[in-house]
């Protein structure tokens, strides 16, 4: 009997044994497009700060499908009809929601293609739908929020979806940052549906407060940690330099798929016109980048070699963060010092000294709300139902500005 005709059990360090049902879901997990996620880091270069953070998008997707099955069971217990076909489709949607991520996930999202990873995930899903004779059609409808039961889409992509519930708990576990620990089981048990919208029972309000606070803290302590920002923006600069050298006709060794996308930044139109582009992108993963960096450490171009060594040897650019924009004078003075110390010209210094901003908002009032089902049957948005979040701080967008530069004492 083929292994594809049996349920698969995966031992997950977060949830224990996770069952992957036989049939289309197992076939999707076994497909090379999905197996590629084993080679895509969930947290980019965060492992340079948190050594344990080597988990992959594959880990995350399996965790999401586990939570989705829990949510489906819970909503069915509360009397909401979710057919077997709908359950399978929403599980497929959450399984493949991140399949469009490129190397190092968000770190290099805009470096190779001019498409958001969710749009690329949709292209992968559509391609797989053709291969599997339309078995992903309903999942695609849910993923695009075109299905009649809107709460199914909210389970996949909302402010309290299975994606966020898994990545907070998982990233907290692997990074060792305990502020991200949330009560996923408690939150899922409190889920309900009113007027086709996902709601949370009033007694679960404290778990939601902790979820939002945990999300805010994880962004500042892990996802937007200053050393992670330095490393990931340096990696972006490396790819920019490699592209520049290739454009000038200089030799830059790279794997075939990496070289392909370094030569030209593909757009949505390019992917629509040339279906082979998706297959080429599916060959690109973290290993291509790491292999290239090791090779580029010895490149004759000083900028490319120096920046590559910074990542490989973890001798990263220093970074300064503040709540206001850095003055043009401070940036200019820093560039002048670097030009003198490292003997680089006015153009090349921009690879070593650069400023940008990052933003963090744990809860967006403009998007689908997190609604609380009060005991009297009324519905209140979380900010109105919670005394802890009433001041609106959790929904405030916080901007921080950073300046990266080499260690001038070297």
Provide the token pair at 82: 């979710």
Query: For residue 134, is pLDDT > 50?
Result: yes
Cα(270)–Cα(63) distance, integer angstroms: 33
Cα(313)–Cα(311) distance, integer angstroms: 6
Rounded average pLDDT over 123-139: 97
Rounded average pLDDT over 226-243: 97
pLDDT-derived band of residue 400, with 50, 70 and 90 as boundaries?
A: very high
Q: Are 78 and 192 in contact (CB under 8 A)?
A: yes
314-331 pLDDT tens trace: 999 999 999 999 999 999
Query: For residue 367, is pLDDT > 60?
Result: yes
409 versus 14: the higher-pLDDT residue is: 14
* Domain at 179, CATH number: 1.10.3210.10
Rounded average pLDDT over 63-70: 98
Residue 287 falls inside a structural domain: no
Query: For residue 369, is pLDDT > 90?
Result: no
**Bridge partner residues of 321 (DSSP):** 402
138-151 pLDDT tens trace: 999 999 999 999 99
Range of the domain at 384: 3-225+360-401
Q: Are 66 and 18 in contact (CB under 8 A)?
A: yes
Provide the token pair at 177: 């940052």
Query: For residue 338, is pLDDT > 60?
Result: yes
**Bridge partner residues of 26 (DSSP):** none
pLDDT-derived band of residue 1, with 50, 70 and 90 as boundaries?
A: very low
**DSSP characters for 293-329?**
HHHHTT-S-HHHHHHHHHHHTT-PPEEEEESSPPPHH
Rounded average pLDDT over 37-49: 97
| Rama region for 2: left / alpha / beta (φ>0; ψ in -120 to 50; rest) | beta
Cα(112)–Cα(104) distance, integer angstroms: 12
Q: Are 77 and 142 in contact (CB under 8 A)?
A: no
Query: For residue 302, is pLDDT > 80?
Result: yes
Q: Are 125 and 140 in contact (CB under 8 A)?
A: yes
Residue 206 falls inside a structural domain: yes
- What is residue 3's predicted lDDT score, i.e. its pLDDT? 57
- What is residue 391's predicted lDDT score, i.e. its pLDDT? 66
Q: How many Cβ atoms sit within 10 Å of the Cβ of residue 386?
A: 18
Rounded average pLDDT over 1-10: 71
Number of structural domains the chain divides into:
1
- What is residue 5's predicted lDDT score, i.e. its pLDDT? 67
Rounded average pLDDT over 370-381: 95
Give the position of tokens 């990263």: 316
Provide the token pair at 227: 């050393």
Q: Are 204 and 190 in contact (CB under 8 A)?
A: yes
pLDDT-derived band of residue 390, with 50, 70 and 90 as boundaries?
A: low
152-203 pLDDT tens trace: 999 999 999 999 999 999 999 999 999 999 999 999 999 999 999 999 999 9
- What is residue 312's predicted lDDT score, i.e. its pLDDT? 98
Portion of the chain with pLDDT greater than 70, in percent: 97
Query: For residue 272, is pLDDT > 60?
Result: yes
Q: Of the candidates 292, 274, 294, which has an alpha carbon nearest to the alpha carbon of residue 113?
A: 274
Provide the token pair at 5: 């005709």
Cα(292)–Cα(111) distance, integer angstroms: 15
CA angle 140, 164, 232 (to 5 degrees): 100
- What is residue 275's predicted lDDT score, i.e. its pLDDT? 86
| Rama region for 354: left / alpha / beta (φ>0; ψ in -120 to 50; rest) | beta
Provide the token pair at 242: 């490699």
Cα(233)–Cα(222) distance, integer angstroms: 15
- What is residue 365's predicted lDDT score, i.e. its pLDDT? 74
8 versus 57: the higher-pLDDT residue is: 57
Residue 39 falls inside a structural domain: yes
For the beta sheet containing 191-194, the strands, ordered from the edge strand earlier in sequence to the opposite edge, are 191-194, 197-201, 371-373, 379-381
The mean pLDDT value of the chain amounts to 94
Residue 350 falls inside a structural domain: no
Residue 276 falls inside a structural domain: no
Residue 129 falls inside a structural domain: yes
Cα(152)–Cα(140) distance, integer angstroms: 12
Query: For residue 410, is pLDDT > 50?
Result: no
């Amino acid at each position: 009997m083929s292994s594809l005709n049996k349920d698969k059990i995966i031992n997950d360090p977060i949830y224990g044994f996770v069952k992957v049902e036989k049939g289309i879901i197992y076939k999707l997990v076994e497909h090379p497009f999905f197996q590629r996620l084993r080679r895509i880091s969930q947290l980019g270069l965060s492992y340079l700060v948190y050594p344990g953070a080597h988990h992959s998008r594959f880990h995350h997707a399996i965790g999401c499908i586990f939570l989705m099955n829990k949510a489906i069971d819970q909503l069915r217990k509360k009397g909401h009809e979710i057919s077997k076909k709908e359950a399978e489709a929403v599980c497929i949607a959450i399984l493949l929601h991140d399949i469009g991520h490129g190397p190092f996930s968000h770190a290099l999202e805009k470096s190779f293609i001019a498409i958001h990873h969710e749009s690329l995930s949709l292209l992968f899903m559509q391609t797989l739908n053709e291969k599997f004779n339309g078995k992903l059609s309903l999942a695609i409808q849910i993923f695009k929020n075109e299905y009649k039961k809107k709460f199914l889409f909210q389970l996949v992509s909302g402010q309290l979806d299975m994606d966020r519930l898994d990545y907070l708990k998982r990233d907290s576990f692997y990074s060792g940052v305990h502020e991200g620990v949330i009560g996923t089981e408690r939150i899922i048990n409190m889920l309900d549906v009113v007027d086709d919208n996902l709601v949370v029972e009033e007694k679960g309000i404290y778990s939601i407060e902790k979820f939002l606070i945990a999300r805010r803290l994880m962004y500042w302590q892990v996802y937007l940690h200053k050393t992670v920002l330095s490393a990931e923006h340096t990696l972006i600069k490396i790819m920019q330099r490699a592209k520049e050298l290739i454009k000038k006709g200089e030799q830059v060794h790279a794997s075939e798929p990496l070289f392909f996308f370094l030569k030209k930044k593909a757009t949505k139109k390019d992917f629509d016109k040339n279906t082979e582009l998706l297959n080429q992108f599916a060959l690109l993963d973290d290993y291509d980048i790491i292999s290239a960096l090791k090779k580029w450490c010895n490149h004759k171009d000083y900028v490319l070699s120096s920046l590559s060594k910074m990542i490989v040897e973890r001798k990263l650019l220093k970074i300064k963060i503040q709540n206001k924009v850095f003055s043009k004078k401070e940036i200019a003075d820093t560039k002048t010092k670097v030009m003198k110390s490292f003997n680089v010209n006015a153009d090349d210094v921009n690879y070593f000294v650069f400023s940008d901003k990052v933003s963090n908002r744990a809860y967006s009032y403009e998007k689908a709300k997190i609604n609380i089902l009060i005991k009297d049957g009324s519905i209140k948005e979380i900010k109105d139902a919670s005394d802890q979040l009433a001041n609106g701080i959790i929904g405030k967008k916080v901007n921080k500005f950073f300046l990266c530069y080499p260690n001038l004492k070297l």
